[in-house]
Amino acid sequence: MKILHIIVCLEADGAETMLKRLIEADPASIPDTMVVSLTTLGVIGEVLRKQGVAVHPLNLSPSGFNIPRILWQLIKCIRRYQPDVVQTWMYHADFLGGLAAKLAGYNNIVWGIRRTALTAKDPKKTVLIMKMCALLSRLIPKKIICVAEAARVAHSKAGYDEARMVVISNGFNFSQFTVIEEQRTALRSACQFSDTDIVIGNVGRFHADKGQDNFVKAAALVAGLYPAVKFLLVGRGCEAENATLMAWLNDNGLQERFVLLGERRDVPVCLAAMDIYCMPSRTEGFPNGLAEALAMALPCVATHVGDTAVLVGDTGVLVPPQNEQALADGLLGLLALSAEQRQQQGQRAKERVFSEFGIEKARARFDSVYQAVITGK
């Protein structure tokens, strides 16, 4: 089965990471897989190329002035590769990739929705593309794969064809989530965390949707009550060079309580250095970072957005989004537990995600959708 994936970019974000996992879950499929990035190669593209995947960046301009050329390149690529299925990821790829496939004479098109909903802070161009996709959802894709039930509901209300939608949650390769004690100790030492420090952390790129501002505000409420608590931020843009983030920390007197590691390749080790995980997002589809934290047996506090409740079940604390007091109260509840109680809660979370959200299950569900599209069943 030849699959052509079209995605906006290949940086180390949620959709891109899921695409990488999906391909890696079946190494035998690599010769029959092609990935097209509308923009640049990115770190994920580099990794996939090293594994033998055909990856082609098209260098779409941020202004979109070269869209006609990109569309023509997509059409030529599809005709040359002759895939069984064209799978697109996210609004811009759904629109351009779906349109190109139709113009190339291909009908086995599967769209991918990776967000719960758009917010007022999203660019007007993105909102317009989403609305156009809603109109075209009855004409272009045979199936629309949503990352979360919340995403399916929100996009159905926005005008997408509900009859074509199916939910497939993210899957994870849990074999990669093995960290030895020496790795945890080494990173904590590098961060100057003591054995008695309780580290609350988060992994995610610096973005308004990810809610790092609310995390800082909640941290300020917690820090005054627990002098032994330290905070760790990991992700692109979460670094000392980020003037906005540093201003938040300075305004709240937290510059000595926070460690900023920026983007890292050793996320499991970073998670192992934490004692509690906090997800302060304003919006999510199916949050990768939270799932990875649960897989590392961390007790978690998370905002009730997207399919967070589906992921966490009864193994974590859910609080309303954009509410630093609720976030702080959730963290304070975990801090009030003994270390053993926190470990027990984290272990239950690990057992849940290992059972329900392995990449093998997700790959089988994607393949089932592809087969149905190909056979018309």
Same-domain status, 345 and 274: yes
pLDDT class for 64, splitting at 50, 70, 90?
confident
Residues 206 and 305 reside in one and the same domain: yes
Three-state DSSP state, 2: coil
Q: Are residues 217 and 158 in the same domain?
A: no
Verify that 283 and 212 share a domain, yes or no: yes
Predicted local distance difference test score (pLDDT) of residue 81: 94
Q: What value does the mean pLDDT take over residues 57-83?
A: 94
Query: Which pLDDT score, from 0 to 100, does residue 122 have?
Result: 78
Listed in sequence order, the residues at least 6 apart from 320 whose beta carbon sits closer than 8 Å to its beta carbon are 303, 304, 326
Asked if 73 contacts 51 with a C-beta cutoff of 8 angstroms, the reply is no
311 neighbors 334 (Cβ within 8 angstroms):
no
Do 235 and 155 reside in the same domain of the chain?
no
Instruction: Give the pLDDT confidence of 182-192 residue by residue, as tens digits.
Output: 999 999 999 99
| Total of domains in the chain | 2
CB 57 within 8 A of CB 41: yes
Please state, in angstroms and rounded to a whole number, the distance separating the CA atoms of residues 218 and 198. 15
Binned at pLDDT 50, 70 and 90, residue 28 comes out as very high
pTM for the model = 0.79
Q: What is the mean pLDDT of residues 331-342?
A: 96
Closest CA to 98 of 52, 151, 145, 139: 139
Q: What is the pLDDT of residues 88-143, one digit of tens each?
A: 999 999 999 999 999 999 999 999 999 887 766 778 888 999 999 999 999 999 99
Give residue 49's region: left, alpha or beta (phi > 0; psi -120 to 50).
alpha
Share of the chain above pLDDT 90, in %: 87
**Structural domain containing residue 279:** 179-356
In this structure, are 366 and 305 located in the same domain? no
Q: Is the pLDDT of residue 177 over 90?
A: no
Question: In the prediction, which pLDDT does 120 show?
Answer: 67
Cβ–Cβ under 8 Å, residues 372 and 143: yes
Radius of gyration of the chain (CA): 21
pLDDT of residue 115: 86
From 287, 358, 274, 280, select the one nearest 320 (Cα to Cα).
280
Same domain, yes or no, for 260 and 339?
yes
Q: Output the domain CATH number for residue 37.
A: 3.40.50.2000
CA distance 347 to 350: 5
Strand segments, DSSP code E, in the chain are 3-7, 33-37, 54-57, 85-89, 109-113, 143-146, 165-167, 198-203, 229-234, 258-262, 276-279, 300-303, 317-319
Rounded Cα gap, residues 73 and 71, in angstroms: 5
Q: Is the pLDDT of residue 77 over 70?
A: yes
Q: Give the span between the Cα atoms of 260 and 239, in whole angstroms.
A: 5
pLDDT tens for 228-256 read 999 999 999 999 999 999 999 999 999 99
Averaged pLDDT of the chain: 94
Same structural domain for residues 143 and 230? no
How far, in Å, CA of 280 to CA of 213, rounded?
A: 9
Quick check: helix, strand or coil at residue 238?
Answer: coil
Q: Are residues 238 and 277 in the same domain?
A: yes
Query: Do residues 216 and 310 both lie within one domain?
Result: yes
Spatial distance between the Cα atoms of 279 and 299, rounded to a whole number of angstroms: 11
Beta-strand (E) ranges in 223-263?
229-234, 258-262
In this prediction, residue 63 carries a pLDDT of 86
Q: Residue 155 pLDDT > 90, yes or no?
A: yes
